[in-house]
Amino acid sequence: MNASLLRIYDYIASHRRWLWIALVVILLPLIALAVSLRYNEDIMDFLPVTDDDREALAVYQSQQSASRIVLIVEGDSLRDEAIEAVADRLPDLQTELDLSEGIAAIYSQMPYFIADSTFARFDSLFMPSAVRAALLHDREILSIPGTGLFSTAIQYDPLGLVQISNFKSQISNEKRSYAFFDSPYGGTETSHNAALVDSLNAIAGEVSALYPELRIRWVGAPVIAVGNARRIKTDTLLCIALSLVLIIILLAYAFPRRRDLWLIMLAVSFGWLMGMSVLRLVTPTVSAIVLGIGSVLIGIAVNYPLHLLVHQRYTTSVRQTLQEVLSPLVVGNITTVGAFLVLVPMQATALRHLGIFAAAMLVGTILFCIFVLPHLMSAEPTPVREIKITVHHTPYTVHHYLQWSILVLTLLAGVFLMVNGKWSNGKLFDNQLSNINYMTPEQRADLAYFDSVSNPQRVMAEHPERADLWLSYWQSHSADSLITTVQTEATAAGFRPAAFTPFYDLLRSWQPVKAFDFRVLTQRLSDDFDYIGLCCSLIVFAFLWLSFRNIWLAMIAFIPMALSWVWILALMQLFGLQFNIVNIILATFIFGQGDDYTIFIVEGLLYEHRTGKPILPQYRQSIILSALIMLIGIGILVLAVHPAMHSLGAVTLIGMSVVLLMATTVPPLLFRLYLRLCPTDRI
C-alpha cells in the first residue's frame, strides 16, 4: 500500500497542474450538495422509533397539550384576585381547563382505564336492567347545566365503566390556584415562543407587584423549551468562545509558522465538506443536532494533518514524512471509519445520518492529507514546539510503577463495576429525557406534580394487562348482543340512535395502542449501543489483525482500548455520571480516537524495533496535541449549566484522559512482554 501511494505522490509532484484542476472539479459539486442540505431539530430522530411507537406517539400527543402554559398562583389568600388581574391583561387566559378533546382521546383507549374490579362485574353490568339504569342515570346527569364534559364522555362510555373524575386534573389545593393559556405557536417553536414567554413574565411581574405576598409563575412545555434554547445558546457561545481562544493559543504555540495552521484548517474543512455532501446524497434533510455533535469529529479528523506536520519536523523531505506515517494514518482511518459505519444499520434516523457523516468526513480528510496536503507542505522541517507530557524513557518502557499501577487499578475497576455498576443494576444509562432538559428546581417539581396527577399515558404504561382482559372477554361474549341491548334501552330513554356510536365502534373493532414511554425508547437506544460496542470491537480487532498480520500485535493495539472502557465506566459510576441519549454518542468518538492513538504507538514501537531510529517522540507529540484539542474543544462543555451539554463535557474529560493514558503506557509494556515471550517471531 505504501509503495502504491508513494508512486501516486511522485506522479502528482511532477503534474501539479492536474491536481489543482481535479481539486476544483471535485469541490464545485461538493459545495453545491452541501449548500442544498436542509436542517431540522427533531429530537425524535435520535430515538429508535418503530411504526408502533409512532402510533403510540400520536395518541400521546392527542392526550397531552404541548402548547399549554399553566399559570400558578401560590399563597394563602387573594389568589383568585391575582388570576383576575392576569386575565385583564391576557384576555385568552382560561380559568377553567377544557378537557373535552383530551377526554375523547383518552376514551378511545378506554379499556386501559377500567378498574380491575369493574372487569370482574362485566356480566352483571351488561344485563338489560343494569344497562337501563345506567342510561337513565346518564339522562338525569345531562339535564343538569354545565355537564358538557360528561356529554363527551358518555358517547364512549354510556354504561359508566370508567369514572370521568379519574381524568380531571386534581391539581387544586388550599394554597395553589391555576389558570391556563395555549401558545398559538405550539410547544417547540422557540423563536416565537421566546417573545410570548417574555410578555407572560412581564404580566406576572406586574401582578406580583400588586400582590407581593403571592408567588406567581408560568410553567409548561413552551416555557421549558424557551429556557432550554436560551441556556443552550448562552452556554454554547461562552464555551465555544473560550475553547476557540484556548485551541488557537495551543496551536499557535505548537506551530509557530502560521502557514501550518491554515493547512490543518484546509484538511479538516475539506473533510467536513465531504461529509455534508455525502449526507445530502442520502437525505435532503438532517437533524441540526447531528452536525452539532459531528463537530466532535474535528478532534479525530485533526489527527491526520497533525501527524503529517509534526512528523515533518523530524525528516528531511515531505516524501520521507509521507512514507513514515502513511501506514498508521491509513490503518487508523480505516478502523475508525469502520467503527462509525456500525451506526448505519441503526433504527434511529439521526444515528444513521451521524454514521454516514462521520465516515464520509474522515475519509475526505484522509484523502486530502494523502493526495493534496503533502504538495502544500513546505519542504523545510516544520517548526514544532514540544509539549512536555511524557512518561517514556526508552523505546519500549514506561515507568514500571505506573504500568503496574494501571493494571492493578484496572482489576479494581472491574470488580467495582461488577459490584456497583452496569452488570448489577444498570446505573450507567439514564433513560429519563427530562433529566437532560434545563429546568429550575421549581419548574422540575411543578412538571413532576402535574404529570403524577394528569398523565393518562402513565396509566396505559402501568396497566397493559387491561387490554388483554378486554379482548379476551369479547372473544367469549357477543359484542353485538350488548350493542342491541344498549340501542334498545337508549331509544326507550330518549337518546338519539347514533348517540353512542363511538361506544359501538369500541366494542366492534378496538385494538390496543402501546403506551408511549420515552424511557422504553431510550433504554432500547442503550441496548443498541451495547450492540454497537460489540460490533466496533470486532471490526477494529479484525482489521488490526489483518493489518499487522500478527494476532499478538493486534492484541497489543486493542487491549488498551478495552482497558480504557473499564476505567471510563468505573469512573463514571464513581462520580455519579450516566450515559444518556446525547452523550452516549461520544462512545463511538472516544473509541475512534483510542484506536488511532494505539495504532500510532504500536507502529512507532515496530518502527523503532526494526530500524533502531527513534520515532515515538514525534508520534507522541501529535497524539498529545490531538488529545488536548479534543479535551479543550468538547471538554470545555463541563462548564456549561445545561445538563446535556455538561454531560458531554464530563464524559469527554474522563474518556479522553483515560484513552491518552492507556495509549501511551500500556502498549510499550505489552510490546516488551511480547518480545520476551516470542523472541523468534519476525515482525
519-564: pLDDT as tens digits:
666 667 667 667 777 777 888 888 888 888 899 999 999 999 889 9
Backbone conformation region of residue 580, classed left if phi is above 0, alpha if psi is from -120 to 50, else beta: beta
Q: What pLDDT digit, counting tens, does each position of 592-630 carry?
A: 778 888 988 998 899 888 888 887 877 787 788 888 888
Band (392; pLDDT cuts 50, 70, 90): very low
Among 171, 199, 172, 170, residue whose Cα is nearest residue 183? 199
Maximal C-alpha separation, the chain: 104
Bigger pLDDT: 585 vs 674:
674
**Bridge-based pairing state of the strands 176-182 and 68-74:** antiparallel
For the chain, the average pLDDT equals: 82
Domains of the chain: 2-45+255-436+518-677 (1.20.1640.10), 63-225+441-508 (no CATH)
Q: Is the pLDDT of residue 450 over 90?
A: no
pLDDT given at position 350 = 81
Query: What distance in Å separates the CA atoms of residue 431 and residue 418, rounded to the nearest whole number?
Result: 21
pLDDT given at position 270 = 95
Query: What distance in Å separates the CA atoms of residue 68 and residue 97, rounded to the nearest whole number?
Result: 10
pLDDT given at position 169 = 46
Q: What pLDDT digit, counting tens, does each position of 340-361 carry?
A: 888 888 777 888 898 899 999 9
Q: What pLDDT digit, counting tens, does each position of 227-270 carry?
A: 888 887 788 788 878 887 888 888 888 888 888 888 998 999 99
Query: What distance in Å separates the CA atoms of residue 222 and residue 447, rounded to the nearest whole number?
Result: 12
Q: Is the pLDDT of residue 389 over 80?
A: no
Spatial neighbors of 412 by CB under 8 A, at least 6 apart, are none
Whose grid coordinates read 470491537?
A: 537
Mean pLDDT of the 463-474 span? 90
Q: What pLDDT digit, counting tens, does each position of 207-235 carry?
A: 999 999 999 999 888 898 888 888 877 88
The phi and psi torsions of 286 (rounded to 5 degrees) equal -135, 150
Strands (DSSP E) along 257-333, which ranges?
A: 285-287
Query: What distance in Å separates the CA atoms of residue 435 and residue 485, rounded to the nearest whole number?
Result: 51
Give pTM, 2 decimals: 0.74
Strands (DSSP E) along 339-467, which ranges?
A: 392-394, 397-398
CA-based torsion, 369, 372, 376, 378: positive or negative: positive
Which residue type sits at 592?
Answer: G
Bigger pLDDT: 529 vs 675:
675
Among 446, 445, 443, residue whose Cα is nearest residue 225? 443
Spatial neighbors of 77 by CB under 8 A, at least 6 apart, are 213
Among 409, 194, 369, residue whose Cα is nearest residue 274? 369
Query: Reduced to 3 states, what is the DSSP secondary structure of residue 73?
Result: strand
Kindly compute the dihedral angle of the four CA atoms of residues 212, 213, 219, 224, in this order, to the nearest 10 degrees.
60
Please answer whether residues 55 and 172 qualify as being in contact, where contact means their C-beta atoms are separated by less than 8 angstroms: no
Kindly compute the dihedral angle of the four CA atoms of residues 113, 115, 119, 121, in this order, to the nearest 10 degrees.
-130
pLDDT given at position 538 = 84
